[in-house]
Structure 1
Amino acid sequence: MSSERDARHAEIDLQDLVASSDTGSRNPTGPIGVFLAGLALVWSLFQLYISSDIPYALTDLLKINVIFNSDEARSVHLAFALSLAAFSYPLFKNSPRDRVPWYDWVLAVIGVACCLYLIVEKGNIAYRAGLPTTGDLIVSTFGLAVLMIATYRSLGLPLVIVASVFLVYVFFGDQPFIPEVIQWKGASYGKAMWHFWMQTEGVFGVALGVSASMVFLFVLFGSLLDKAGAGNYFIQVAFALLGHLRGGPAKAAVVSSAMTGLISGSSIANTVTTGTFTIPLMKRVGFPAEKAGAVEVASSVNGQIMPPVMGAAAFLMVEYVGVTYLDVVKHAILPASISYIALLYIVHLEALKSGMKGLPKPGPMRSGLQKLLGALTGFLSMAITAAVIYYGLGWTKQVFPDATFEAMVVLFLAVYVGLVALAARYPDLELDDPNAPVSVLPAAGPTLMTGLYYLVPIVVLVWNLMIERLSPGLSAYWATVALIFIQLTQDPLKALFRKSGDYAGAFRRGFASVIEGLIAGARNMIGIAVATGAAGIIVGTISLTGAHQVMGEFIEFLSGGNLMAMLVLVAIFSLILGMGLPTTANYIVVSSLMAAVVVDVGAQNGLLVPLIAVHLFVFYFGIMADVTPPVGLASFAAAAISGADPIKTGVTAFYYSLRTVALPFLFIFNTDLLLINVTAWEAVYVFVVATVAMMLFAAGTQGYFFARNKAWEAVALLLIAFTLFRPGFWLDLVAPPFHQEDPAKIVEFAEAEPSDDGMRIVVEGPSIKYADKTETITFLLPLGPKGAAGAERLKAQDLHVAVEDGVARLEEPFQPTSVPGSKLLDFDFYGDQPVRVVAIEVPTERIAKEVFYIPALLLLALVIMLQRRRTDVPAF
């Protein structure tokens, strides 16, 4: 009895942890509880309303404007978040959980009033731009105060502390207690408050706009999908397909966490959703408690780097990097996939080391050849299905160019009804008790068939994004509409096909799941919306003070200008800044401070890093804070399920996540991993090579390959992995990638460059900030189409060169947004020494870098041969 009571207490504590970090742990009863649920429901309905065409239709019908523009939508969005934060999250540990105290009502009303003030007074605010009234200052002050309180209660102290440090820097940046190297003149109270609250440079900036226009709908889509039963379906399918393999439950945990992470915005929620089921099953087949929890943490946190949602960071990258959403998905998909495959391999190695077996599977045992053929059949089925979806839907677009939407609706209904009819032939899935004795796994075929229709709204989402090329927000809207339709009709249709009657009861269950999903989606968004608002304080501080330049100079000073040391420091700073922050706020903070540092210091070292690579670099290290002790919240959640020590779980999870730590360094130097400027066939080649390399890296760090590694074998495996990832490193030692040409010939080189090619130039000159300091930077200058004279091509790109006595002197660029204008901000064009081009870098003709694969593969063959002699355990 005591063990059952302890288990119940542990489950209650776990639910409390998730609620306190994601949805709010206060659940009042009676009318107040109904009001709280109703408020969350209205928020979801409001977000669906502004995403649809309904406002435009109503405006035409009613002849009054009921359309919310972007600024107004942000204000209403934050108003809902602040009020729900006050009602859902207790302010103090001893605050009541079953009712809302009076002071939270006051805070909610103040927060809503301060947000809606921007809508009511929008005309007057625009008229007095930059000249705040006393009312403006009062509203801004109370608004920021309520936002900071909401941040504390929904996200904890870390983000409050970070935001407070930035606020202190804004007002007291010129005080003696601020180190002289980062001092600035400071801002007046009126200027700062106007900047933070009354315009779109601070709280109501890009981050909150992305939260209101895109993130909410994707979080809502994920919540509705889970309430519809897809979460349980994904877990069951993963176990049916993988549970019989060595360490099968752990492999199934990785796959189910990957599928859940596709739509989840929270590492902790992902850990608990799948971990409640997977961690006990991992322990059941022999995984120690720490390792079981660590596998779940590593796979759940990895869900935040997996497109399409990436913990909402994908949508923020669209705004911050200036690329399309599909570009973000394309660049992020390969590293995330490789990371998950490597984690599956790590689990396999752990199972080999411990001699684990899988769970019993129904039916006769299959030979190795049969397993291989089955796997190939599975992959071929997936490929054929994907091809049918892509080309089939593309065919409808060609045949019905003016009626594609109607054709899609008909096709959607036909496929959906057919798949529900198929599912109705099998009993509905029930979640297995993970603490029960070992039982036979469910049959893969029937399990797969019971929920194939859950993929239909996901197909709608992908179709709208990739074929129709709709915006992410509008794509999520239509996918959500499709999902709501499925929730309302799946049970009645099953009852119809099974001839079981009770259609009204089936419809009521579907309607209840929709309402629950809408409420849960809004409550899941509280922390994200508050986080994007609070992170706006940091972004606003940076735009007001130029703090990112100060941070860059500080890290440059610590690294001594060494590129690798700088990357390590940026990684450590990103990890520290990310501690305790949710994924969205984490990305905003680390990218605002760290991204420019990598670009600038890289350029000074001659490394031209694409901006998307830099943002992914800092993002990867920011989310590792969810794993790493002492603040790794996902590790604490997993430890609460496994009964293990949370610090040991976090350390083990970080060890398993070394592959995720290594990837950002690799794609900074080898942008092929991000599929930048590669063809489709090259992408396949890069994927295969990088996957093999990452598996070898995993084998080297885990101490086991075909047998337990000797020390030299582990080193050899890491060396082979590095060579496969970056063969260009060895080639650069043999022959430099560029040779320098006379800068006086810059005009001739500009004229000879092919169309749309760029020219690498090295610029040197006096610093505008520091006397007696010389700045050096390398950048790629685009030249546009060929045909014009060299001087004209340079001037068209805002690079003004005067060659005198062999010196290519530069004049100050006219356009701050041009490439030279943005790259040469730190140069003094009016000093005694000229700003000049000191070299033109031209690619060197070299052998193919892939030549270095040959010695690496020969060394790999040697390691495999020696290890196979020491073991008789099959590798798979």
Structure 2
Amino acid sequence: MSGHAKTKAQELESMVAQSESGARKPAGSVGIFLGILAFAWSIFQLYVASGVPFWLTEHLGVNWVFNNQEVRQVHLAFAIALCSLAYPLFKGSPQHRIPWYDWILTVVGVCCCLYLLVFKDTISDRAGLPTTSDLVISALGLISLGIAVFRSLGLPLLLVATVFMTYVFFGDQPWLPEVIQWKGASFGKAMWHFWMQTEGVFGVALGVSATMIFLFVLFGALLERAGAGNYFIQLALSLLGHLRGGPAKAAVVASGLSGLYSGSSIANVVTTGTFTIPLMVKTGFSREKAGAVEVASSTNGQLTPPVMGAAAFLIAEFTGIAYTDVIRHAVVPALASYIALFYIVHLEAMKMGLEGMPRPSARFTLIQKLMGFLGGFVAIGVLGAIVYFVLGSVAEMMPSMTTWTGALIFLLGYLALIRVAAKRPDLEMKDPEHFEVLPRADEVAPTGLYYVLPIVVLLWSILIERLSPALSAFWASLAMLFVVLTQDFLKALFRGEHAHLGHFRDGVVAMYEGMISGARNMVPIGVATGVAGVVIGTVSLTGAHQVVGEFVEMLAGGNVMAMLLLVAVMSLILGMGLPTTANYIVVSSLMAPVIVSVGAQTGLVVPLIAVHMFVFYFGILADDTPPVGVAAFAAAAISGGDPIKTGIQGFTYDIRTALLPFLFIFNHELLLIDVTFAQAIFVFIIAVIAMLLFAAATQGFFITRSRWYESAALLLVAFTLFRPGFWLDQVEEPFVHRPGTEVVKEAGRLPEGGLLRMVVSGPDFDRPDRMASLTLVAPMGAPGDGAQRLMEAGLMVGDNPDAPQGTIALEEPMAGTPYFTKMQMFDFYGDRPVVVERVELDAERMHKEVFYIPGLALLALIIFLQLSRRKATLAAA
């Protein structure tokens, strides 16, 4: 590698360190201590995820089991300690030594966290009655956490948390508009709420970080340390580099594969972009477009299941939906978005008349043809299908298969693949400046196939064994640790070299460094989820989401589309300064209930998963949104282009990703909700075609350069394929309306599991002079009397002479029932009753897919026009 390349690599490494793992790397005994501290954090997280604590308790009689709350406290203590020691407080702070004040801040932060662990019994005895020491510890703990957030994530998230906390203390002040005032909280109540219990810092978000996210980040760090990143890059390049704009296509695929285990867009940019961006520039892409392709690829890597930038676990926790279902809901939008990005790169190469890189031989293998056509994105799906169907059938045939049997199968497969890899030299990270000829796919692929095995373990645990995400990541991390420890030793053994202890020592060093890297990469996430608990705690304490909801509803005027646009803009603005995880937590806490309630008031019943995915997608897009998009700055540092132009270009590539959230809010089939397997395949194919057409329209190029009306027609076709139900609703009413008095009869007629849709109206609790309206969808249980089925669903009808004609009164749902929270908007004790206004039954209509026919006919016309024009152009040339 040239001196200039080395300098640039060091600069990029420093950039990643500043935002991901801490730029400070002290030498000597202090550096060793810092490494041991990070290593100890990884060991602790593996320990609490395993069955070892229970085994020790059972066989040694000592209680070394940590409950969830205790794990959160130790988790945050490690995060604050590493943050205080590894992240300089100011830009001018020393990077090669730790100043005295950082040691003091470390001790204070750790003591404030462990205070809850050491004095847990006495704290529980005085619940809600804090002592002076409780208040001091809570205040110092929040200050320590705020300083840690400032160090690792900068000022924006700290300002957001400060605004929320200020609202807690001063929300009752007369100088605030009356609409957003609340009764306020005392210092003692607020401190107890935020620090001493599970409603604030040590709440759900930090719990997800401590039990799930850490292990997935550790798994990714070990996979990267083992050499998987370099393997994926060179494999993608060997398969796709010969195509038009080949390095750009390879960047898209490599970033997608890295997204399997990486939750960071900037790390993804640097890992894959260091190699692919110079090659893109070399083959004809401008510096800004080369950087933008990598930025769009890397930010979209956070859409890729199973990690999804760590948000998958938070979504599962906040929505109450199983983690495996979250993955299922996310897979079609993620694949469609990535395939469309691959197609955008192809269109860019077509517009510029680019060619691919030279192949090492004229021989064009079948696998290269397949990968060139499919773009490599189905590889993940194929792997998942193999695990689910092939290995799943093995599990059915061997129901008594134990963990040890699975470990033996893994070991045999690993030994076979490591022997295949040993027959070829190890892959080296090549200098892209001197990269002239593509590597051969049949030479690259065998060198790292064993990297897939830990991913198979992860998918097996999640899809087949149905283990928890934490336990699945634990077993995958153990498999990855075994690979890191043994790969060099076993390769030397199979190559006939003298496999001495030096090879094994290299594995131990790699394992140690991977464990340290995983822990340091977790620091920003750990403190971000901790401070996000302040936001969640404020919402639960003050009901701030209702205030924000009313404000947004007022701005949107009750229009769902306008409200969605406001939420999208809010996510983008917050995301410019917040990491994706924190952005998702903040916006979903405030806006998810608003979208659901406003949608229900207008008759649109939106599944909760669709709302949370909507917020999550726009949080991701903020990573390349100027002027702050950190991923764009990282890509520009590699390409030498302008970071603002790179970010703008990357955002134009990501417009297709911004379209998806609006679509699956209205078309739930894109999230594979209530579809069969055959329907899922059909939905995926249609979604991909529609996304490709949308990409072609926005790029102004399809078969040839498009005229404006052709681009408009392509947008119309794409919209029709994505949401044919819109056109059907214009032709036929979706529902047959029945009077509310028939709700009991209709409830009795529905089959088991059927959904009863009804419109409920009544006096608004906050504004009694106004009537509120809400659309409810209630699932019916076992067949029986209609009133009984409604009661079992949580709804009770009653006789009330004041109910308007054609309606039936509803009684207030009991606390704890599904509709208690949803119907708090109504005043059940006002002068006018809350009633079922009407029942809405699904109308018998034509299939919405009928509208695909005119859409595809219009597409055929566009293809004919563009083919004719292209032939004429070629003939003239």
TM range (shorter): over 0.9
- Structure 1 pair 643–181 and aligned structure 2 pair: CA distance change class (3 A): same
- State the match for 1:459 in structure 2: 456
Bigger mean CA deviation after superposition, 805-814 or 855-864: 805-814
CA shift digits 1:192-241 (9 cap, x unpaired)? 00000000000000010011101000000000000111111011100010
- Structure 1 pair 371–217 and aligned structure 2 pair: CA distance change class (3 A): closer
**Amino acid corresponding to residue 524 of structure 1 in structure 2:** N
Distance in 1, matches of 2:6 and 2:482, equals 36
Distance in 1, matches of 2:116 and 2:284, equals 59
| Residue 269 (structure 2) aligned to one of 255, 264, 271 | 271
- State the match for 1:181 in structure 2: 179
| 2:335–2:377 contact (8 Å) kept in structure 1 | no
**Amino acid corresponding to residue 230 of structure 2 in structure 1:** N
**Amino acid corresponding to residue 740 of structure 2 in structure 1:** P
| Residue 775 (structure 2) aligned to one of 775, 778, 781 | 778
CA shift digits 1:764-804 (9 cap, x unpaired)? 11111113121111110122111x21111122223221255
Distance in 1, matches of 2:331 and 2:376, equals 21
Instruction: Tell me the TM-score normalised to structure 2 length.
Output: 0.96
| Residue 729 (structure 1) aligned to one of 726, 731, 734 | 726
Matched, 1:406 2:404: yes
1:393 Cα deviation from its structure 2 partner: 3.1
1:169 Cα deviation from its structure 2 partner: 0.4
- Structure 1 pair 799–19 and aligned structure 2 pair: CA distance change class (3 A): same
- State the match for 1:341 in structure 2: 339
1:818 Cα deviation from its structure 2 partner: 2.2
Matched, 1:794 2:793: no
Matched, 1:256 2:254: yes
- State the match for 2:656 in structure 1: 659
Distance in 1, matches of 2:299 and 2:380, equals 26
| 2:760–2:835 contact (8 Å) kept in structure 1 | yes
Bigger mean CA deviation after superposition, 154-163 or 624-633: 624-633
| 2:807–2:838 contact (8 Å) kept in structure 1 | no
| 1:744–1:803 contact (8 Å) kept in structure 2 | no
Matched, 1:107 2:86: no
**Amino acid corresponding to residue 548 of structure 2 in structure 1:** M
1:739 Cα deviation from its structure 2 partner: 2.4
Within 5 A, what are the aligned runs for 1:573-612? Answer: 573-612=570-609
Matched, 1:624 2:621: yes
Within 5 A, what are the aligned runs for 1:466-865? Answer: 466-786=463-783, 788-803=784-799, 806-865=805-864
Query: What number of residue pairs does the alignment pair up?
Result: 870
| 2:734–2:843 contact (8 Å) kept in structure 1 | yes
| 1:90–1:153 contact (8 Å) kept in structure 2 | yes
- Structure 1 pair 794–390 and aligned structure 2 pair: CA distance change class (3 A): closer
**Amino acid corresponding to residue 581 of structure 1 in structure 2:** L
- State the match for 2:201 in structure 1: 203
- Percent of counterpart pairs with the same letter? 59
- Structure 1 pair 198–368 and aligned structure 2 pair: CA distance change class (3 A): closer
- State the match for 1:866 in structure 2: 865
3-state SS in 2 of match to 1:763: strand
Distance in 1, matches of 2:219 and 2:464, equals 20
**Amino acid corresponding to residue 96 of structure 2 in structure 1:** D
Distance in 2, matches of 1:709 and 1:693, equals 17
Bigger mean CA deviation after superposition, 134-143 or 361-370: 361-370
Within 5 A, what are the aligned runs for 1:422-461? Answer: 422-436=420-434, 438-461=435-458
- Structure 1 pair 20–814 and aligned structure 2 pair: CA distance change class (3 A): same
Matched, 1:151 2:140: no
**Amino acid corresponding to residue 359 of structure 2 in structure 1:** K
| 2:135–2:191 contact (8 Å) kept in structure 1 | yes
| 1:396–1:407 contact (8 Å) kept in structure 2 | no
| Residue 68 (structure 2) aligned to one of 46, 67, 70 | 70
| Residue 134 (structure 2) aligned to one of 133, 136, 153 | 136
1:4 Cα deviation from its structure 2 partner: 7.2
3-state SS in 2 of match to 1:821: coil
1:375 Cα deviation from its structure 2 partner: 5.5
1:374 Cα deviation from its structure 2 partner: 8.3
| Residue 246 (structure 1) aligned to one of 225, 244, 247 | 244
Distance in 2, matches of 1:628 and 1:733, equals 36
Unaligned runs of 5+ in 1: none
Distance in 1, matches of 2:676 and 2:318, equals 26
**Amino acid corresponding to residue 667 of structure 2 in structure 1:** N
Bigger mean CA deviation after superposition, 393-402 or 510-519: 393-402
| 2:201–2:533 contact (8 Å) kept in structure 1 | yes
Within 5 A, what are the aligned runs for 1:181-330? Answer: 181-330=179-328
Distance in 2, matches of 1:311 and 1:154, equals 17
- Structure 1 pair 803–238 and aligned structure 2 pair: CA distance change class (3 A): same
Distance in 1, matches of 2:443 and 2:527, equals 43
1:373 Cα deviation from its structure 2 partner: 10
- Structure 1 pair 501–618 and aligned structure 2 pair: CA distance change class (3 A): same
- Structure 1 pair 370–648 and aligned structure 2 pair: CA distance change class (3 A): closer
Distance in 1, matches of 2:366 and 2:383, equals 26
Distance in 2, matches of 1:745 and 1:25, equals 67
3-state SS in 1 of match to 2:824: coil
CA shift digits 1:662-720 (9 cap, x unpaired)? 00000000000000000000000000011000000000000100011100000000000
Distance in 1, matches of 2:301 and 2:189, equals 41
3-state SS in 2 of match to 1:841: strand
Bigger mean CA deviation after superposition, 218-227 or 582-591: 582-591
**Amino acid corresponding to residue 538 of structure 2 in structure 1:** T
| 1:37–1:519 contact (8 Å) kept in structure 2 | yes
CA shift digits 1:252-285 (9 cap, x unpaired)? 0000000111111111111111111111011010
Bigger mean CA deviation after superposition, 290-299 or 815-824: 815-824
3-state SS in 2 of match to 1:820: coil
1:366 Cα deviation from its structure 2 partner: 4.9
| 1:813–1:820 contact (8 Å) kept in structure 2 | no
| Residue 12 (structure 2) aligned to one of 6, 11, 14 | 14
- Structure 1 pair 347–765 and aligned structure 2 pair: CA distance change class (3 A): same
Distance in 2, matches of 1:409 and 1:529, equals 31
Distance in 2, matches of 1:629 and 1:66, equals 49
Distance in 2, matches of 1:199 and 1:255, equals 44
Distance in 1, matches of 2:626 and 2:436, equals 35
- Structure 1 pair 54–157 and aligned structure 2 pair: CA distance change class (3 A): same
| 2:623–2:630 contact (8 Å) kept in structure 1 | yes
| 2:239–2:371 contact (8 Å) kept in structure 1 | no
1:173 Cα deviation from its structure 2 partner: 0.3
**Amino acid corresponding to residue 843 of structure 2 in structure 1:** T
| 2:253–2:376 contact (8 Å) kept in structure 1 | no
3-state SS in 2 of match to 1:825: helix
CA shift digits 1:327-386 (9 cap, x unpaired)? 000000110010000000000000000000000012216599994698589999998876
| RMSD of aligned Cα (Å) | 2.0
| 2:808–2:837 contact (8 Å) kept in structure 1 | no
- State the match for 1:51 in structure 2: 49
Distance in 1, matches of 2:342 and 2:102, equals 46
| 1:265–1:583 contact (8 Å) kept in structure 2 | no
Instruction: Tell me the TM-score normalised to structure 1 length.
Output: 0.97
| 1:330–1:674 contact (8 Å) kept in structure 2 | yes
Distance in 1, matches of 2:316 and 2:794, equals 26
- Structure 1 pair 724–631 and aligned structure 2 pair: CA distance change class (3 A): same
